[in-house]
Amino acid sequence: MASQSQQLHIILIPFLAQSHILPILDFAKLLSQRDLLITILTTPLNSISIQSMIDHATISTHAKIILITVPFPSIQVGLPEGCENMDTLPSPDMAFNLFAGCDMLQEPVLKMLSEFEVRPSAIVSSNALAWTGQVACSLGVPRYAFQTISCFSMLVSHNVGRMNVGESVVSDTEAFEVRDLPDKIVITKLQMPKTGLQRGADVKSIVQKMKEAEGFTRGMVVNSFEEMEPRYVEGFKNMGRRIWCIGPVSLCNQDSVDKLERGGRRGAIDENVCLKWLDSMARRSVIYACFGSIGRIPSAQIIETGLGLEASECPFIWIIRKKDVSEQVEKWLDDEKFEGRVRGRGLIIRGWAPQVAILSHPSVGGFITHCGWNSTLEAICAGVPMITWPMFAEQFYNEKLVVNVLKIGVRVGVEIGMKSELEDENKVFVTRVQVTEAIEHLMDDPERITRAKELSKLATKATSDGGSSFLNITALIQDIMEQTISK
């Protein structure tokens, strides 16, 4: 198969958000290990964040990964010049503008791919980029939808959609059971994903385009592994869906450079200082708190979180994102001399930090997380149990998987989604007492730690030679090859 697969040229097109770009880049590395030619297509500013990672992969593993760019029409769709990523939107209300800009890429991308010297064999693109199905059809190649969420969350979403919850459940806070699932899963309407798009017609048009794209889509490539959620993978297969679980893709980052650079951003702290600080702590004693890259957290909630971490008396690394370092937060840190109070057991990082490297360190014993799927998988790979603090999107579904199904997490206790736009600066969703109690509960349960470690071993086995995810990549390549031959 190797000699045939060398002729395959796979085009990878991520949606313009770090949560899509990073796993697709990792997937590119995995495909390149099979001697395939890989082309990643994105926009100019997004390419800057991943170029160094591609360069490192090319040098260290002789990967054949090409990065090409297509201009993004920011101004034409009402975005500031240079705004090309969901994480950098001035307001979440402008998410539709970003989707509209992505739709405008269809024609230039088709023209670009049509002129390639080495003909594309397949397109693997984020599920959100529905128009790539039509591009693939025009080129006469199969399109595969890359899913950046779990099979669990996809099946919950599918079944909730069939229940007509809008009419059958009156109250936003009324708990209801999702039907036809392998496990009992209870949620409320307030915990269902919101797209961040405020205009109902816009939401419907995007969802409709995704549904229409299914007719141009060969199957789903999912960043998950079968051993973690076998009944949910089987649930999709029983619906007649082609599905290949090929993750956790982040496990392709094995050397220290890959772990430190994943994300393509310069850390707000010297990585060696951070790792040296962790070296000084006892094994499995440190709490790592980080809440992703999208959205804003009210200043009062930032302060309350810090007081909860302090009261826990556990060593901690606390990431305060740049967008959350308001004047109010800085004034509190300064007036209360908070950093001085926790010096020696608390490390505060303003901005981005090397999360994979931190979670992989043996001193880290727990992770306070917003339950984004990338972060959830990174914790699972590292064998670190979680304190779940979902905020929006499918994060409440991920919490149910972590806490109720996998049993490797403790809820912090938040019951409603945090809006992705800036809320009242004085609003508090989770109290310091809730933070402290969740930390104590997590760190005092050896059985949860054991389960997390077992899952970590299963993830490593799945992605190793002969494992389920390894074999699924082989099967995916074979499917692409068969489609190529049949064309």
Domains and their CATH numbers in the chain: 2-148+194-252+461-486 (3.40.50.2000), 268-444 (3.40.50.2000)
Terminal CA-to-CA distance of the chain, rounded, Å? 18
In what helix (H) or strand (E) does residue 410 lie, and over which residues does it extend? strand 409-411
Closest CA to 411 of 383, 431, 441, 382: 441
Take residue 169 and report the two structure tokens written for it.
């459940």
**Cis check: omega of the bond before 248, within 30 degrees of 0:** yes
Give backbone dihedrals phi and psi of 485, rounded to 5 degrees, phi first. Answer: -65, -40
For CA atoms 247, 252, 254, 259, the dihedral sign is negative
Give the Å distances, CA to CA, from 177 to 53, 76, 163, 392.
Answer: 43, 44, 10, 19
Tokens 């919950």 belong to residue: 156
Identify the pLDDT of residue 202.
58
Collect the ranges in the chain with pLDDT lower than 50.
1-5, 195-199
Give the Å distances, CA to CA, from 203 to 99, 199, 210, 251, 396.
Answer: 10, 7, 11, 34, 20
Cα-based torsion angle of the residue sequence 194, 198, 202, 205 in order, rounded to the nearest 10 degrees: 20
In what helix (H) or strand (E) does residue 2 lie, and over which residues does it extend? helix 2-5
Give backbone dihedrals phi and psi of 286, rounded to 5 degrees, phi first. Answer: -95, 135
Query: Looking at the whole model, is its pTM more than 0.85?
Result: yes
Give the Å distances, CA to CA, from 161 to 164, 165, 396, 473.
Answer: 6, 7, 16, 30
Identify the pLDDT of residue 442.
96
Closest CA to 28 of 75, 68, 72, 66: 66
Identify the pLDDT of residue 165.
85
Identify the pLDDT of residue 304.
97
Residue type, 242: R
State whether residue 484 is helix, strand or coil: helix
Number of Cβ within 10 Å of residue 342's Cβ equals 17
Express each pLDDT in 176-215 by its tens digit.
999 999 999 999 998 998 644 444 555 556 666 766 767 7
Identify the pLDDT of residue 1.
43
Identify the pLDDT of residue 257.
76
CA dist., res. 45 & res. 265, Å (int): 13
